[in-house]
């Protein structure tokens, strides 16, 4: 499974959450239990896609399809 390279909003460290892909629109990102918990968050805890709004249409990305690492924006 691919791990999220986004930055957590609470402590500005790398997220390392599981990365999912929306089957409806192709959106990729992690799932958090709070809104905007990660800079690469793509899904809510209720499995709702932030891009198209589909619910339950997500699948885990295998490790080889992982997005490139993002540089933290300390500021």
Q: So where are the chain's domains?
A: 19-64
Residues 48-68, mean pLDDT to the nearest whole number: 83
pLDDT-derived band at 74 (thresholds 50, 70, 90) equals low
pLDDT tens-digit readout, 17-41: 999 999 999 999 999 988 889 999 9
In the structure encoding, which two tokens stand for residue 44, read together?
């809510």
Q: CA 8, CA 17: separation in Å to the nearest integer?
A: 10
CB atoms within 10 A of CB 51: 14
Q: Report the first-to-last Cα separation within the chain, whole angstroms.
A: 30
pLDDT-derived band at 63 (thresholds 50, 70, 90) equals confident
Residue 44 is predicted with a pLDDT of 94
In the structure encoding, which two tokens stand for residue 22, read together?
């929306």
| Its pTM surpasses 0.85 | no
Q: Is the model's pLDDT at 71 over the cut of 60?
A: no
């Amino acid at each position: 499974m691919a791990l999220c390279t986004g930055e957590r909003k609470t402590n500005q460290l790398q997220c390392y959450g599981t990365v999912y892909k929306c089957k409806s629109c192709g959106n990729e990102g992690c799932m958090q239990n709070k809104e905007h918990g990660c800079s690469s968050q793509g899904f809510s805890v209720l499995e709702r896609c932030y891009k198209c709004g589909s619910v339950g249409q997500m699948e885990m990305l295998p490790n080889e399809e992982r997005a490139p690492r993002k540089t933290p924006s300390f500021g």
